[in-house]
Structure 1
Amino acid sequence: MYNLPVTASERLVDAARELLWERGYVGASPRAIQQRAGAGQGSMYHHFSGKPGLALAAIRRTAEEMRAAAERALGGGGTAYARVEAYLRRERDVLRGCPVGRLTMDPDVIADEALRAPVDETLDWLRGRLAGILREGVVGGEFDRALDPERTAAAVLATVQGGYVLARASGSAAAFDAAVDGLLALLAGRRTA
């Protein structure tokens, strides 16, 4: 699985990330994490205070990677519309769902303030980043002044998260693509040039 030497703590975090995405908090048992990581119980408890500590490290890593992937698309050159489009059309494993968004449906994550914090922070960051780009488009005259950057950013985020749900429900990425196409058509209708 690993080509370069990777520490046991890294293997444990990677295994926890995958299992949280696949099975949720309850399904990511310490035994399953240890088996997937090829690490023993002693190694897990040497590096982490227990399952909550390991889960928090895994959620933070997932959130960091999601922000980095979003920023690669949003931080590129071009118009505000082009940057939002790049974010919406970036490569994703749509049928697996969003690794951060899925955590919002996990009652154990939502009930734990520490585990929920990186999820909230990531979604808030993304909404804010999108709103900033859309605001640039309004101020620069690309979009008409009636476009509300904050509400539109919330709609972009909701479209992505809802698109994942629709794709998983139908078993087809086409549902995600249709949601993105619809949102981009609405957004294009607000362009002034």
Structure 2
Amino acid sequence: MATQDRLIESTQDLLWERGYVGTSPKAIQQRAGVGQGSMYHHFAGKPDLAAAALRRSAEQLRAVAEADLTAPGTAYERIAGYLGRERDVLRGCRIGRMAQDPDVVADPQLRAPVEDTFEWLRGRLAEVIAEGQAAGELAPAADPADTAAAVVAVVQGGYVLARAAGRAEPFDQAVRGALGLLAAHRTG
């Protein structure tokens, strides 16, 4: 793996584990196995590297979600696949955790990948819901944008509940509840 990629990957992991303030340049260098000169050769500083790491985390989240949402099946089945896929629930979402980091949300460069990812995810879920409505699979009564926002909120809130409890069951319960509500809008 190239030095630049090791730095980004190490920063991704450290941001997820420790948050922005807890991710020091020294910790990044140690995790990546590179010296200070290598880090500053590739990045202007910690904010630049953190922004690159957040963009990569966002790209990875989008790729996984897109795979779930374009899988074969009905709109309900694709959303159920997205909600039910394997996750490291107790670690939370790499992107969602950053939305709770005051240093990330205060910096427009760091906040942008977080904001853009959630906007994309809500939009993509709304498209799937609208497809289901157009195909007659889902009742037209549910607003696609509102329903998509609720699905994203269930996932992010489920992570918070699971982390607070120290176990995955609250996340799983939130997913089951969301699927039950979505199932009530199925027409077939």
Q: Common fold, TM-score beyond 0.5?
A: yes
Aligned residue for 2:35?
A: 40
Aligned residue for 1:67?
A: 62
Number of equivalent positions: 188
Aligned residue for 1:120?
A: 115
Query: How much does 1:145 deviate?
Result: 1.5
Match of 2:51 among 51, 56, 60: 56
CA distance in 2, matches of 1:178, 1:53: 38
Q: Deviation above 2 Å: which 4+ runs of structure 1?
A: none
The within-5 A match list for 1:23-172 is: 23-172=18-167
Secondary structure of the 1:60 match is helix
The TM-score normalised by the length of structure 2 is 0.99
Match of 1:11 among 6, 16, 22: 6
CA distance in 2, matches of 1:93, 1:81: 23
Query: How much does 1:143 deviate?
Result: 1.2
Query: How much does 1:162 deviate?
Result: 0.2
CA distance in 2, matches of 1:34, 1:114: 22
1:24-69 CA-partner distances (Å, limit 9, x unpaired):
0000100010011111000000000000110011000000000001
Query: How much does 1:8 deviate?
Result: 1.3
- The sequence identity of aligned pairs, in percent, is 63
* Aligned CA-pair RMSD: 0.6
CA distance in 2, matches of 1:17, 1:125: 20
What runs of 5+ residues in structure 1 fail to find an aligned partner? 1-5
Q: Amino acid of the residue matched to residue 56 of structure 1?
A: A
Query: How much does 1:9 deviate?
Result: 1.1
CA distance in 2, matches of 1:140, 1:8: 48
Q: Amino acid of the residue matched to residue 125 of structure 1?
A: W
Query: How much does 1:77 deviate?
Result: 1.0
Query: How much does 1:10 deviate?
Result: 1.1
Aligned residue for 2:17?
A: 22
1:72-94 CA-partner distances (Å, limit 9, x unpaired):
11110110000000000011100
Q: Amino acid of the residue matched to residue 28 of structure 1?
A: T
Q: Amino acid of the residue matched to residue 8 of structure 1?
A: T
Aligned residue for 1:3?
A: none
CA distance in 1, matches of 2:22, 2:140: 48
CA distance in 1, matches of 2:183, 2:101: 35
Aligned residue for 1:178?
A: 173
Query: How much does 1:114 deviate?
Result: 0.8
